[in-house]
Structure 1
Amino acid sequence: MGIFKLLLLVCAFMGVQPEAVADNINKPISMQFGKQVIVKSKVLRENRNIIIHLPSGYAKTEKNYPVLYLLDGERHLYHSVIASELLNKAKQIPELIIVAVTNNEGMRQRDLNTESEKFTLYLSREVITYVDNNYRTTGSNTLFGHSLAGFYTVDLLANAALFFENYIAASPPLEGDDIELYSKIVAPTNAHEVSKKTLYFTLGSKKEEGEDVANAMNNFVKLLGESSPQGFDWHYQFLDGETHITTSYLTLFEGIRYVFKK
């Protein structure tokens, strides 16, 4: 089945007119799925783009909405919008504001690894602050990341858990960091904050993800199972047969369903 036919079927289920799909095919991403905003970052000393998708009824209500933040947002905005709207129609999650935090070319490794503390300041002080100041938000924030961004997501929970309520990580490569991250999560100085959080995380097969990555994940899960802060809601899902790339789609879909189950 071609991607256009598949999109038509999804939109039919969601109540979107086919003409709207056809009209949007050649439009930029910001015009199809959200509004593009340029953030003049003082922390990173560069301009950064975010894309903000609002629920369909946002303008007609005075409601406040929880926010889903997507790392590598340019990769994950489309399927996240579709997943959230399908699950909302099924009454399994609330309506969400979705914020796609995009990458500047060549800066992903810097932001999510070598200078991740700066990126965290950008995310917390500039992106979240902008969204909260300009849109009706509940203050309940969820972070999604895949691969290196998935590692950043788990690392943020371990080091600075206060910024988000829910953390969703697809295929985080915990190789060599599993014990350190676990130790920070259960540390007495962090346990009180972590006890209020939810973590949903996944990994594909050992063949697809690599033996060292799979072993580190299994050890991390084992440690959490033996001892984790009381009230800390975590769930690990092994995605047998999935590749490193395809875990992102299933993890986002099942992850938002899990973290909003309450």
Structure 2
Amino acid sequence: MKKILLLYIFSVFQLSIHAQLAEKIELTPNNELLGLGKQYILKSEVLNEERPVIISLPVGYDDSQANYPVIYVLDGLGNIKHTIGTIELLTESGLISPLIVVGIESLDRSRDLTPSNAGQDAYGGVGNVGIPQSGGAPKFLRFLSKELIPYIEANYRTHPYRILEGHSFGGLFSVFTLMDSPGLFDAFIVEAPALWWNKEEMTTKAKTFFKSNETLNKTIYFGIGGGDGWGMRQELIRYVDVIKENTPKNFKWFHEEVGDEDHDASRLLLNYYGLRFLFSDLKIGEDLINNFNDKAFLKAEQGLMDKYGVKTRRPAGVYVDLVSGLLKNGNTLGAITVLKRASETYPNYIGLFTYLAKLYEKTDQKNKAIETYLQGVEISKKYKLGQEEDLQKEIDRLRKTQN
């Protein structure tokens, strides 16, 4: 029976994957697909100008009362397409929590994203004249903290967890924000940051910042394309070397060079790997696997929901792997606890329900098995999976044994 159930794991999980259909995307009157969010114009008193932002809500936002973490994406107009697509894919797979995306459009990135004025001795391709309008990052950061973030949190159901993502000058601004206002964001995705700025002044500042912060409860991904050139890769290495020398407690960070992409082409991959790293705690810890008990498992699940919001879930495969291990150890009741949680978080995965029904039957809980099979029938009907007849046979068989 145990071998049959373990073989059943693979087949139902594959069926679960195929149960997923793409969510409908709203159409314009001209049949153009939407799905990238809506643009809003904020009148900023701090910047004394109108600032466009793109706000994209997660799938299911209007159908629940849940609160969602927010990711603020710099250079939002240029990055919104691949960012939304990546986030939706990772969310569907349970690899990250659902997120509200705020894309901050750039009007003058050389002004807004640079922490200081670039004079004639600046380097990094600015020539001898510098960049006259540069050095506006402190003001732009005030716009974020005093106007944009309060606007988002007043108008949308937000969870306290905030992420800032930036590439190139945006990465420079992200590093500046971490060290200038460390309490504003919980996590950062820093992509190919322009740390050459003004003779690597951010790296100089980092030597004091990380020494003076013994504890820093932040998660940061530092990524760069393997084909990026002068002014980027070595400068980033020198910055993270400072972190290695003085790593604060509770500071979770990772640095990597990805593929052979150049400066601009790396953005899609870095966004993907950055999100994966930020939410890497959605994996099951070894201690929970080796010393499983229902209470500890459910407490860990609740901890993730407290951190990222009630819609947070682990990848379906993580739950199935845990169930497989528990069954190998003869812990069928523990496997049921995990599978109940999995089916709650993946209500469209028919395989999780049919697998759970098998375990209910194995433990002589026939009424629950029948009820769970019935849920599977409804899922099969909804997604046209063609499993209704087989599931009904299981229901009829169990009902006969009750007579």
What is the TM-score normalised by the length of structure 2?
A: 0.56
Residue identity opposite 1:72 in structure 2 = D
Change (3 A) 1:184 1:63: farther
For 1:185 and 1:92, the matched residues in 2 are separated by: 32
Residue identity opposite 2:274 in structure 1 = G
Highest CA radius of gyration, 1 or 2? 2
State the Cα RMSD in Å.
2.1
For 2:25 and 2:151, the matched residues in 1 are separated by: 34
Residue equivalent to 1:209: 229
For 1:231 and 1:44, the matched residues in 2 are separated by: 35
Residue identity opposite 1:260 in structure 2 = F
Residue equivalent to 2:210: 186
Matches within 5 A, 1:151-162: 151-162=172-183
Gaps of 5+ in 2: 1-19, 115-134, 282-403
For 2:171 and 2:47, the matched residues in 1 are separated by: 21
Shift of 1:67: 0.4
For 1:217 and 1:89, the matched residues in 2 are separated by: 32
- 1:237 correspondence with 2:251: no
For 2:21 and 2:242, the matched residues in 1 are separated by: 41
Change (3 A) 1:172 1:19: closer
From 73, 87, 90, give the equivalent of 1:87: 90
Residue identity opposite 1:151 in structure 2 = L
Change (3 A) 1:159 1:14: farther
* Matched pairs, number: 238
Change (3 A) 1:241 1:14: farther
Residue identity opposite 2:239 in structure 1 = F
- 1:103 correspondence with 2:106: yes
For 1:60 and 1:19, the matched residues in 2 are separated by: 15
For 1:32 and 1:101, the matched residues in 2 are separated by: 17
On the 8 A contact 1:143/1:167 being kept in 2, the answer is: yes
From 61, 74, 78, give the equivalent of 1:58: 61
Shift of 1:24: 2.1
From 15, 18, 25, give the equivalent of 2:22: 15
Shift of 1:19: 9.3
Residue identity opposite 2:31 in structure 1 = D
On the 8 A contact 1:14/1:86 being kept in 2, the answer is: no
For 1:70 and 1:257, the matched residues in 2 are separated by: 16
Residue equivalent to 2:81: 78
Residue equivalent to 1:170: 191
What is the TM-score normalised by the length of structure 1?
A: 0.84
Residue identity opposite 1:24 in structure 2 = E
Identity of aligned residues (%): 32
